[in-house]
Amino acid sequence: MEQTFYNVVGGVISTNCQCEEYQDSDFYCEGDCWEWSVEDFAIMFNGWLKINDTEEFAIYGTKMGWRNSSGHTGRLTTFEELMENLKINGDFILRWEFNGDGNTMKISRSSHDEYGTSFELRVWNEGDDE
């Protein structure tokens, strides 16, 4: 059955869901709250890939960190890569939004050092800067 998304759908992923930072700087989260919110995001992300008929994407970010930096990733291909690039080593909240037009997936991140950090997922085009 073909799925069609018409409305804006969004969600929140927060480190308030039992996350810990270990001495070796590994960041780990567990618990139903974390798993369910990440799973919801993964479902919408996979829908975005399908609608855009792609398996490759990049993340473009603005106002990142306390220095308000901007930048983008190179070519990414998995949900795990997406999450690794969005997480930071500390407490944070990710708010994601998927627009029913199929083209737009936006994420904002808030943390101790940032407020209003925004990310946009874009389809990777051959020749984009790696």
Does residue 21 form part of some domain? no
In a domain, 2, yes or no: no
User: Do β-strands 117-123 and 9-14 pair in parallel, antiparallel, or remain unpaired?
Assistant: unpaired
Q: How many domains does the chain have?
A: 1
Domain that holds residue 103: 11-16+27-123
Q: Is residue 62 part of a domain?
A: yes
What is the rounded average pLDDT for all residues in the chain?
A: 83
Distance CA 69, CA 105 (A): 20
Residue 130 domain-assigned (yes or no)? no
The Cα 59–Cα 81 span in angstroms is: 10
The pTM of the whole model exceeds 0.75: yes
For residue 22, is it within any domain?
Answer: no
53-93: pLDDT as tens digits: 999 999 999 999 888 899 999 999 999 999 999 998 888 89
pLDDT at 112: 85
Give the model confidence (pLDDT) of 27-50 as tens digits: 566 667 778 889 999 999 998 999
